[in-house]
């Protein structure tokens, strides 16, 4: 009886521990990011994103120009085409409720459900442990950007110029 109880306890412990460490990170949307990342003290990351094309990338698919480009590529409706959505609305598969925010914060920073808490965000290493993407170098950031921007629609991409427009670091205290 003791042996069976011990085995049962061990199995429950293993399941509990594996559940803790296999946390699935999920997307929360830019509105949650906005709560903290809108102030001057934080660097106004949300207002910067909101004025950029990334925040409007899904809406752009409904434009006449997008329909024209799509037609030339043999696509009937760019707002429903997986080929268009993978860059213009990267959440369309994993978090369809966030599709309309276009290239939201979490496309670059990772799913925020576990790192959005202030207590976690104050510690960079803890944020990374909880799903925030860490690139490590400008080259790694560029590589991520190029997944969509490399020769997109036959246009060249100047990473350095684009980065100057969209970067949004937190000001030094």
108-112, 156-160, 169-173: which has the minimum mean pLDDT? 169-173
123 and 110 Cβ atoms separated by less than 8 Å = no
Q: Name the 3-class secondary structure at 134.
A: coil
3-state secondary structure 52-100: CHHHHHHHHCCCHHHHHHHHHCCCCCCCCCHHHHHHHCHHHCCCHHHHH
Domain 23-166 -> CATH class? mainly alpha
Percent of the chain as helix, strand, coil, to the nearest 5:
60, 0, 40
Residue 13: pLDDT band with limits 50, 70, 90: low
pTM: 0.81
pLDDT for the residue numbered 67? 94
- Would you state the pLDDT for residue 42? 85
Residues 103 and 91: their CA atoms lie apart, in Å, by 8
Spatial neighbors of 81 by CB under 8 A, at least 6 apart, are 70, 75
Q: How does pLDDT run across 82-138, given as a tens digit for each residue?
A: 999 999 999 999 999 999 999 999 999 999 999 999 999 999 999 999 999 999 999
More confident residue, 47 or 172: 47
**Which residue did the predictor score with more confidence, 173 or 21?**
173
């Amino acid at each position: 009886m003791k042996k069976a109880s011990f085995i049962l306890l061990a199995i429950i412990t293993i399941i509990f521990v594996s559940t803790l460490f296999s946390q699935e990170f999920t997307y929360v949307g830019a509105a949650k990011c906005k709560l903290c990342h809108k102030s001057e003290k934080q660097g106004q990351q949300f207002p910067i994103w909101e004025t950029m094309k990334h925040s409007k990338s899904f809406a752009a698919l409904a434009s006449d120009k997008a329909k024209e480009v799509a037609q030339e590529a043999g696509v009937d409706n760019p707002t429903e085409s997986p080929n268009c959505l993978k860059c213009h609305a990267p959440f369309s598969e994993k978090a369809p409720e966030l599709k309309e925010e276009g290239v939201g914060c979490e496309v670059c920073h990772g799913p925020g459900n576990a790192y959005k808490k202030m207590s976690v965000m104050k510690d960079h290493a803890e944020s990374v442990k909880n799903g925030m993407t860490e690139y490590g170098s400008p080259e790694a950031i560029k590589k991520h950007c190029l997944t969509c921007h490399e020769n997109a629609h036959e246009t060249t991409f100047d990473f350095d110029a684009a980065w100057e427009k969209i970067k949004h670091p937190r000001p030094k205290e």
